[in-house]
Structure 1
Amino acid sequence: MSTIRDDHEVARDLAVEAGQQLMRLRERNGFDEPEVLRTLGDRVSHEFLFSALGRLRPSDAVLSEEGVDDPRRLSARRVWIIDPLDGTREFGEAGRVDWAVHVALWENGELAAGAVSLPAQGSTLSTVDPPWLPEERPAEQRLRITTSRTRPPDFVRRLANRLGAELVPMGSAGAKICAVMLGIADIYIHAGGQYEWDSAAPVAVARAAGLHVSRIDGSGLTYNRSDPYLPDILVCRPELSGMLLASIRNVADLDNAGPHAGA
């Protein structure tokens, strides 16, 4: 790969190649020792991506879930934010396809490029060619909210009950946001805390695809901060955002009011 390659293509190609390496690792090792497989997956993908970015973009900083945080990134103009294996639990389970590789570029305060590879699903969504978002969803169709398959937050359950929505359990945050882009779900909401690498790449692609992306109070998402922790996130079709933000406020108000609220 040439160092003059377009950033969008670099993000896509590196995510794809890392995903292919992870698929081969799964095939070679099998699933008899899932923790060993997960540890290998995190390490192999991180080492590949970190090395490739060092070669292709030597002047850029890197923030990786699996790497040591380099404080120089805070003064850098360009920072690659990567999650070498998002959905590590699912990666170590036979038959699971809801895991991903995230590669994003933050530049001058904004996400500039991104790619999410879903290797076990045989697809990659990226800012090279953002997915097409259907203009309308059927009005009679029940809303679908992607949520954690192992740790579904009570807040999301209460919101789903208020909206009469269906919960769609999945693993990786990237897989969940991609599900919204692909029309498998309508909403991804998370209020249990995550980190910048969990969402940077899928958020970059979701924005390019025309989805609404924000904190659950409607404020913007910011990246490459000194503390990479992100408390919450909302990704949805744009026409749903106003209704959802109002519903989220109502659920939060009831939570804050205590057990007798609404009686």
Structure 2
Amino acid sequence: MNDTALARHLAATAGSLLLTLQHSGLFSAKALGKAGDRVANAFLMEALAAQRPDDAVLCEEEKDNAARLSASRVWIIDPLDGTREYGEARSDWAVHVALAVDGAPATGAVALPALGLTLTSEPGHIIPPAGARPRMLVSRTRPAAEALAVAQALGAELVPMGSAGAKAMAVLRGEADIYLHSGGQYEWDNCAPAAVALAAGLHASRIDGTALTYNNADPYLPDLLICRKEDAGRILALL
């Protein structure tokens, strides 16, 4: 199984496990989120150890191992992106599985289990055409000031949504045109979404226009822009 197929299989299977847990009716919303993090993380770590034992892993739910810094191939995992949304039984949560090779987001998969979808960095994805008015994705609970300012300058409609993966995939699916975030993220929040977006021909970068790089000593990666390539120059100029 190649890396992209493995990423898809891992993300989709973790998503299926999370749905089973969610539908069990055994947990309160807060407890469900914590249980989901643990269950999805345990599966992904065991599966990666079995399938890619020589690769390093950076995962939100695992203690960081500095040995990854000397590795060329590093899997960057968020077992449950959008824990709050998952606990509330919303649809805007995701599973992120990505592989960074020499710091670049080489392959990735983002599962949207509640929608029955898994999007990957396989080539051939067609982005639906843009509408007359741009639509910008922002956080449900804490929309960034920069995003609000750019949205006002562009006359964009704001689309609140939960998980970073759900927001990024909404651009691929034609539900929105711009995902601009400056409120703080980590590598596991955006590596898989960036890999999928770049493979689909979208623009993905830091908000100063520099490339997204991964497997850094400090995994804090606070800002992100995903949009149609033809819109990137104007948005970056506004920032």
* TM-score normalised by the chain length of structure 1: 0.88
- SS of 1:131's equivalent in the other structure is coil
- Residue 117 of structure 2 is matched in structure 1 by 123
- Residue 132 of structure 1 is matched in structure 2 by 126
Work out which of the residue numbers 55, 59, 73 in structure 1 matches 2:54. 59
Provide the identity percentage: 58
- Residue 13 of structure 2 is matched in structure 1 by 17
Work out which of the residue numbers 102, 110, 119 in structure 2 matches 1:108. 102
Instruction: Measure the CA separation in 1 of the matches of 2:194 and 2:51.
Output: 23
Instruction: Measure the CA separation in 2 of the matches of 1:117 and 1:131.
Output: 15
- Residue 76 of structure 2 is matched in structure 1 by 81
Larger Rg: 1
Give the direction of change, closer, same or farther, for the CA distance of 1:229–1:167 in structure 2 (3 Å limit): same
Instruction: Measure the CA separation in 2 of the matches of 1:226 and 1:109.
Output: 11
Contact 1:81 1:197 (C-alpha < 8 Å) held by counterparts: yes
Instruction: Measure the CA separation in 2 of the matches of 1:86 and 1:145.
Output: 20
Instruction: Measure the CA separation in 2 of the matches of 1:6 and 1:65.
Output: 24
Mean Cα deviation higher: 148-157 or 219-228: 148-157
- SS of 1:210's equivalent in the other structure is coil
Q: Summarize deviations over 1:209-241 as a string: whole Å, max 9, x none.
A: 000011111111110000000121100000000
Instruction: Measure the CA separation in 2 of the matches of 1:97 and 1:194.
Output: 21
Q: Does 1:90 align with 2:85?
A: yes
Alignment of 1:247-258 (within 5 A): 247-248=238-239
Gaps of 5+ in 1: 249-263
The code of the aligned residue for 2:98 comes to A
TM-superposed deviation, 1:111: 1.6
Instruction: Measure the CA separation in 1 of the matches of 2:222 and 2:102.
Output: 23
- Residue 180 of structure 1 is matched in structure 2 by 171
The code of the aligned residue for 2:102 comes to N
Higher relative contact order (CA 8 A, sep 6+): 2
Contact 1:12 1:128 (C-alpha < 8 Å) held by counterparts: no
- Residue 194 of structure 1 is matched in structure 2 by 185
TM-superposed deviation, 1:127: 1.6
The code of the aligned residue for 1:81 comes to I
Gaps of 5+ in 2: none
Alignment of 1:140-155 (within 5 A): 141-155=132-146
- Residue 209 of structure 1 is matched in structure 2 by 200
Work out which of the residue numbers 67, 71, 75 in structure 2 matches 1:72. 67
After the TM superposition, list the runs of 4 or more consecutive aligned residues in structure 1 that deviate by more than 2 angstroms.
128-131
TM-superposed deviation, 1:11: 0.2
RMSD value over aligned CA atoms?
1.2
Instruction: Measure the CA separation in 1 of the matches of 2:123 and 2:40.
Output: 24
* TM-score normalised by the chain length of structure 2: 0.97
